[in-house]
Chain A
Amino acid sequence: MEAYILHLSIMAGIYIILTVSLNLIIGYAGQVSLGHAAFFGLGAYVSALTSLNWGLPFPAALVLAMLFAGACGLGLGLPTLRLKEDYLAIVTLGFGVIVDLIMVNLTITGGPDGLVGIPAPVIFGLSFRPPVRYLALVLLTVGFTLLVVHRLVHSYHGRALRAIRDHEVTAQVMGVNTPAYKVMIFTLAAALAGAAGSLYAHYITFINPESFGLHTSILVLSMVILGGMGSLAGSVVGAMTLAVLPELLRRAQAYQDLIYGALLIVLLIWRPQGLLGGGKLSLKFLRKKE
């Protein structure tokens, strides 16, 4: 039982990194992405392949995974971020499908069977195979992610980002280089998703394309929306809820998906801005009750 809770916590941590990074794109830069799992997968594969084939130590593999995923984010963002929302949704959706197809069809990625025997991280001689240590590693990365993103969105640049989200053209005529910002955020978010992928690969030690398809993109998107767009605390709550909820509903067996879907719908009717979306609104909501 304890091992099971540890497993859930580690997975929740990985989802938090994914959710926070996607929230950067959606909640802060106001763009749509339906292909976030692709960057998660790219990170996982790069980290796994460099460890397996080149024997790179985990920290180097993690950094390479982030760089590679970030570079792909940059490559996708540069030509496409001038597109308007619905078109961007289609492009990112397509990107997810393409990455999925590449993973399934390349020999080096092991095709649909994926990669097995990915080594557990060893940092300075310390093995992170025991789940408790792995959880510490994941929590450290979660903390780092939250710190970086928190500092970013509360800086001068964060204000420019929120201006872009509120009204892009007006931000532009105030001198904000909106294309540069959008590409920067997209790149950073892709790199963070790559880090999550690396953590996932070295934890599960077995990866195949199935884990990085559209359903994962949608799951992470649900976590962002449930927690609240543009709220970091919301992303943490959203990711933990949707990572743990299916497990809690396991007793209900056949009705699991039904209850899960109904809960989501009820939540979104009750609080369309998400659990913690729009900090000021949630405060007002509390005050009204008093």
Chain B
Amino acid sequence: MEGGSEERGSRGTGVSPVIPPPTPSSRPPMLTLKSVQAGYGPLTVLKGISLHVRPGEVVTLIGGNGAGKSTTLRTICGLLPVRRGVLEFDGQELNRLSPERIVSLGLVLVPEGRRVFSSLSVTANLELGSYHRTDKAQVRRDLEDLRERFPLLRERAAQPAGTLSGGEQQMLAICRALMAKPRLLMLDEPSMGLAPRIVRQVYGILSDLKARGTTLLLIEQNARAALKLADRGYVMETGRIILDGAAAELRDDPEVQRAYLGKGYREVWE
């Protein structure tokens, strides 16, 4: 359902569909942040972030605790106001839009820590993903599609989401976001708190999404897993982007290897 969603979306907004060039890297960016500043109260967490995501790309934002990764996502989602700079999606400025308006443009977040609605059933969680959509017939088809791909969603349909295991909850959170028909899917630390084997499963889902052409913006502390999946990456430190480049380059960068990849160690799940 997410493959080719950007063509569908652009028809919906009245922009004539652009014939997609062969590689993602040559397309114009869909999401652009230009020197964005944001923060909480007196605290400025983002001290001028510039980044972009092109259609069909998988971009990762890596960095340690408190670097401002989650704040970046919260700002893109409209949960935090942009204090300085410009936030653009398809040439439209997002700076003053409400979170629900931003979702309806196709910017969808999978929140940190597998935030499923624990007292709601699995199906109700999925239906909340499609909350803002009005194409009800297509919503039903998308739900069926997802249930084909993830039989668990059908087996556990009526079960409260809070009773699923951690990995299952993460899968449900991703599927719920897919029900929102994302043009850009943002994930906040999808590997957090999961066992290595489950992390591998979650990344399996993500690489499947990538293969279907879904555009992803992935935030991770697990830099190794993220850089393996991503096309490009940005490295964040204390509210600034200190490094960016192709994922393969970042993987080989000595500084990234030292600080984020634990050079000399092998991940147990490899």
- Interfacial residues, chain A to chain B (CB-CB below 8 A): 159-160, 162-163, 165-167, 169-177, 278, 280
Contact = CB atoms under 8 A, between A and B. Distances in A.
Contacts of A278: 119
A278 B103 CA distance: 31
B100 A170 contact: no
Nearest to B186: A173
B117 A166 contact: yes
A91 B104 CA distance: 33
B109 A177 contact: no
B156 interface: no
A60 B192 CA distance: 58
A176 B115 contact: no
Interface of B: 77, 79, 98-100, 103-104, 108-109, 111, 115, 117-120, 124, 127-129, 131-132, 160, 176, 180
Counting chain A CB atoms within 10 Å of each CB, the highest count among B108, B129, B131, B132 belongs to B131
B84 to A, nearest CB: 23
30 contacts: A159-B120, A159-B127, A159-B128, A160-B131, A162-B117, A163-B128, A165-B119, A166-B117, A166-B120, A167-B115, A169-B79, A170-B117, A171-B117, A171-B128, A172-B79, A172-B99, A172-B100, A173-B108, A174-B128, A174-B129, A174-B176, A175-B99, A175-B100, A175-B103, A175-B104, A175-B131, A175-B132, A177-B98, A177-B100, A280-B160
Given A167-B115, A169-B79, A280-B160, A174 B131 contact: yes
Contact of A163 (B79, B98, B120, B132): B120
Nearest to B109: A173
Contacts of B115: 167, 169-170
Contact of B120 (A162, A169, A175): A162
Contact of A170 (B98, B111, B132): B111
A169 B111 contact: yes
Given A175-B103, A176-B131, A166 B79 contact: no
A155 to B, nearest CB: 12
Contacts of A163: 117, 120, 128
B79 A173 contact: yes
Nearest to B179: A174
A14 to B, nearest CB: 30
Contacts of A169: 79, 111, 115
A162 B103 CA distance: 19
A173 B120 contact: no
Counting chain B CB atoms within 10 Å of each CB, the highest count among A160, A166, A176, A280 belongs to A166
A160 B127 CA distance: 10
Nearest to B161: A166
Nearest to A160: B131
Contacts of B160: 280
Counting chain B CB atoms within 10 Å of each CB, the highest count among A159, A160, A280 belongs to A159
B171 to A, nearest CB: 16
Nearest to B103: A175
Contacts of B131: 160, 174-176
Nearest to B101: A175
Contacts of B119: 162, 165-166, 278
Contacts of B129: 174
Given A159-B128, A175-B100, 12 more contacts: A162-B124, A163-B128, A166-B118, A166-B119, A169-B79, A171-B128, A172-B100, A173-B79, A173-B108, A173-B109, A176-B131, A278-B119
B224 to A, nearest CB: 27
A160 B130 CA distance: 11
Counting chain B CB atoms within 10 Å of each CB, the highest count among A170, A171, A173 belongs to A173
A162 B117 CA distance: 8
Given A167-B115, A170-B117, A176 B100 contact: yes
A68 B106 CA distance: 40
A53 B103 CA distance: 52
B80 to A, nearest CB: 11
Contacts of B124: 159, 162
A30 to B, nearest CB: 11
Contacts of A159: 120, 124, 127-128
Nearest to B129: A174
B146 to A, nearest CB: 15
A175 B119 CA distance: 19
B111 A173 contact: yes
Contacts of B117: 162-163, 166-167, 170-171
Contact of B103 (A160, A165, A166, A173): A173
Nearest to B120: A162
Contacts of A176: 100, 128, 131
A166 B132 CA distance: 18
A247 to B, nearest CB: 35
A174 B131 CA distance: 7
Contacts of A160: 128, 131
B170 to A, nearest CB: 13
